[in-house]
Amino acid sequence: MKKICILLAIFLTAVINVMASADADTIIIRNNIDTERITADLDSLLSSWYVKMALQNDPDIFSNDTAGIQYSDSVYKERLSKINSIVKLDYNSIIRNHIHVYTIKQREQFAAVLGLMDYYFPMIEDIFDKCGIPTELKYMAVIESALNPNAVNRYSGATGLWQFMYSTGRMCGLTINSIVDERRSPVKSTYAAAKYIQDLYKIYNDWILVIAAYNCGPGNVNKAIRRSGNKKDYWAIYYRLPRETRGYIPQYVAAVYAINYYPEHNIRPLPLNIPVATDTIMVNKDIHLIQISEVMKIPYGELKALNPQYKTGLIPGSSKPQSLTLPLNHLGDFIDLNDTIRQYKSDIYLNRTTQIADPTRSIYAPADIKGKTKLIYTVRDGDNLGFISEWYRVGLSELRYWNDIYRNTIRIGQKLVVYIDPTKSEYYSKVNEMSFAEKQAMIGKSVSSNTTSATFQSAAPVQTDGDYIIHTVRDGDTIWDIVKLYDNVTTTEVLTLNNISDPEKIKAGQVLKIKKKS
């Protein structure tokens, strides 16, 4: 009986909070809202190349993160009232719950969204301004995809920054085929979203209804309006909208709040090394992103992140001119090396086979990881993907897929995700601490003395000099790889001690001093 009374009290509190921001005769709203989609969108960011690089280079970036801060309803309401917005920013307990998703439950993932804003928001604002759309509608992209142009809705298949369904994307003029999916193009999909939003505003002349209709379609909004006695107010038709759309406006308001007030919640944007200065060049011949990557020494993952619309990495410029986005400092070199790039391994990357599949990544899709235990393995000197897959008894294709590895290159100190049967988690959790010989013994393989000595040689070629460790840089080392080899040392400390202003320019044979820690 006591439990029933508590539940009833919670229910009544939710009703009172909602009624404060809606007509009293229109709506009864449950406080137990579904935040599953927003959580999934934020989680999807962890597969973003720039986010993965940031976390890989500084895996402890959130180690000192403080707990989320909750404020009173009056504080949230007052802060929202101070935000200049053409869209009315109501407040109720449903919105408060969504605010807590961004600022408490998923604060680390939201930090990644904040890191992406500097790249995507200026582009969205520019396009919306050209199209005569309120620039604050840029926040819709946050709740649509968490600013992830590769986001795919697991239920509907909606894709890209603006989550276009296949039919809607084609209707808005986007090319979608086995090679190109312009729903993933940040620029083209934003223009398409602007056009769609314009058309919706002509129907409703109300921005909140436009946002709702963008989510569930004008047919569902029109049906809700008719069933509510032709009341054209979001909160008046709230309970007659599809369940997901009922959470959409609260998500929008919460995103606006969180982006404007994240410092008050002790959230720091994740520092992402996105080249804000980029430029676009039109390509009128077939060319593959791997060709560009290997000739110009630009990471393939970065090129894919800047050009997500090319599903296989092939840019089919021969059929019609296609856009290529590059960091601004590489544009001139691309123009000079264009012919050299196209001729590089053209028999591999420009043949018929590679036009329907990405030759760098297995088309194998592993089984669902739901219910499996996630373990982290730190790569050591002498490791390779083959060894690691054998030690954990997982497929090599699975290991590459989970970690978004397009080739077999891994680096010392790199963190790899492995999913295993939970009943064996205790057994495999010890692998990360084992020696090479012990790991080989696990799978019934012995290690010769020569192999053992080679494998166990120090991962860091070092000497000592008083209070300092002397590290000699090896080919392929990065400053981040080196720092991970030593306890309680930060990248900043090493760079400062060695008078290095550009961490990208360390080279093989260079000697670094590293302060010993007591």
Per-residue pLDDT of the chain (518 residues; tens, 9 = 90+): 433 333 333 333 333 333 333 333 333 333 333 445 555 555 566 667 778 777 777 776 766 666 778 999 999 999 999 998 888 899 999 899 999 999 998 888 899 999 999 899 999 999 999 999 999 999 999 999 999 999 887 767 889 999 998 888 888 889 988 889 999 999 999 999 999 999 999 999 999 999 999 988 898 999 999 999 999 888 899 889 988 788 889 999 999 999 999 999 999 998 888 887 888 999 999 999 999 999 999 998 899 999 999 998 999 998 889 999 999 989 999 999 989 999 998 888 887 554 544 444 444 445 567 778 889 999 887 787 778 888 988 877 678 778 766 555 677 888 888 988 888 888 898 998 988 888 888 887 765 444 333 333 333 444 555 678 887 776 556 676 576 666 667 666 787 788 886 666 677 778 888 887 65
User: Strands 468-472, 511-515: parallel, antiparallel or unpaired by DSSP?
Assistant: antiparallel
Cβ count within 10 A of residue 239: 15
Measured between alpha carbons, how far is 185 from 162 in angstroms, rounded to an integer? 10
Measured between alpha carbons, how far is 333 from 89 in angstroms, rounded to an integer? 48
Measured between alpha carbons, how far is 413 from 432 in angstroms, rounded to an integer? 12
- pTM for the structure as a whole: 0.62
What lies within 8 Å, CB to CB, of 303 at 6+ separation is 289, 292, 293, 326
The half-sphere exposure of 227 on its side-chain side, counting CA atoms within 13 A, is 14
What residues form DSSP beta bridges with 180?
A: 310
User: Strands 322-327, 373-378: parallel, antiparallel or unpaired by DSSP?
Assistant: unpaired
Measured between alpha carbons, how far is 354 from 294 in angstroms, rounded to an integer? 17
Domains of the chain, CATH where assigned: 31-265 (1.10.530.10), 278-355 (no CATH), 373-456 (3.10.350.10), 462-515 (3.10.350.10)
What residues form DSSP beta bridges with 77?
A: none
* Contact between residue 31 and residue 97 where contact means Cβ atoms under 8 Å apart: yes
Measured between alpha carbons, how far is 489 from 495 in angstroms, rounded to an integer? 11
The half-sphere exposure of 311 on its side-chain side, counting CA atoms within 13 A, is 16
Strands (E), 421-473: 462-465, 468-472
Measured between alpha carbons, how far is 249 from 256 in angstroms, rounded to an integer? 11
Question: Quick one: tokens of 72?
Answer: 């009173």
For position 366, what pLDDT does the model report? Answer: 52
Measured between alpha carbons, how far is 7 from 409 in angstroms, rounded to an integer? 54
Q: Nearest 5°: CA angle at 77, between 74 and 83?
A: 145
* Contact between residue 215 and residue 244 where contact means Cβ atoms under 8 Å apart: yes
Residue identified by tokens 């802060």 is: 79
Q: Nearest 5°: CA angle at 329, between 125 and 145?
A: 35
Read off the amino acid at residue 333. Answer: D
> Cα 306 to chain center, whole Å?
13
For position 210, what pLDDT does the model report? Answer: 94
For position 371, what pLDDT does the model report? Answer: 79
| Nearest 10 degrees: Cα torsion 367, 369, 375, 381 | 30
Question: Quick one: tokens of 492?
Answer: 């900043």
Alpha helices in 33-103 (DSSP H): 36-44, 49-57, 73-81, 93-100
Read off the amino acid at residue 288. Answer: H
3-class DSSP state of 178 = coil
Residue identified by tokens 């000595």 is: 453
What residues form DSSP beta bridges with 279?
A: 326
Cβ count within 10 A of residue 2: 6
Question: Quick one: tokens of 362?
Answer: 């297995």
* Contact between residue 401 and residue 417 where contact means Cβ atoms under 8 Å apart: no
Measured between alpha carbons, how far is 102 from 100 in angstroms, rounded to an integer? 5
Measured between alpha carbons, how far is 401 from 361 in angstroms, rounded to an integer? 8
* Contact between residue 324 and residue 313 where contact means Cβ atoms under 8 Å apart: no
For position 33, what pLDDT does the model report? Answer: 37
In 3D space, the residue among 189, 209, 450 whose CA is nearest the CA of residue 309 turns out to be 189
